Amino acid sequence: MRLTLTALFGLAASPALAAGDKPFFSLGNTDFVVSIAFLIFIGILLYFKVPTLVTGMLDKRAEGIKSELDEAKALREEAQALLASYERKQKEVQEQADRIVASAKEEASNAAAAAKDDIAKSITRRLAAAEEQIASAEANAVKEVRDQAIAVAVAAAKEVLAKQMDAKSAGAMIDASIETVGEKLH
């Protein structure tokens, strides 16, 4: 502080001494009056602890910013945890959907096998009944196979196919099943 005042007086004295006509330490010299006013102003600032207040305000501002940063970091971590949770749930749902599809396929193939057995028994009974009714028995068997295949496929895979397949894919699958059964009958 003393060094600062000495440097201030040294700087203030230089122009005053260069003026030459009035002594520096008189109230008639404006440089001296300005220097005294400046020192009084600095003294008032120090007396009312303005630097401490400014430092305190800056510290509060820094603490506020730090708390906002900490809150943002906590929110980010929470969002990452939530994202990871949703990704796990999505994976579990996908696995469950895959299990449902596999189960529906297995049930559909079992139902198709049962339908094939029923068709074979029906054809055997109809052939034994009368040879002249073969044409009508084949038509009835094809119709019965279609009805049973549709009913079994709808009952077994209704929920899975409604969610997993569009109408075009479902129609193609049914047509392929009908063609397969038709080829086995003829």
Three-class DSSP labels, 139-150: HHHHHHHHHHHH
65-94 confidence digits (pLDDT tens): 999 999 999 999 999 999 999 999 999 999
Q: What angle do CA 13, 14, 17 make, to 5 degrees?
A: 80
131-184 confidence digits (pLDDT tens): 777 777 777 777 887 787 777 766 666 666 566 667 777 777 788 888 888 888
Amino acid at 91: K
Q: Would you state the pLDDT for residue 64? A: 95
Q: What angle do CA 117, 106, 112 make, to 5 degrees?
A: 25
Q: How many Cβ atoms are within 10 Å of 110's Cβ, its own excluded?
A: 12
The single residue listed with the structure tokens 């099943």 is: 177
The structural domains of the chain, with segments of one domain joined by +, span: 2-73, 98-185
Both structure tokens of 38: 């400046």
Rounded alpha-carbon distances, angstroms, from residue 90 to 2, 93, 97, 105: 72, 5, 10, 22
Q: Would you state the pLDDT for residue 142? A: 76
Instruction: Pick the closest to residue 104 from 173, 167, 168 (CA basis).
Output: 173
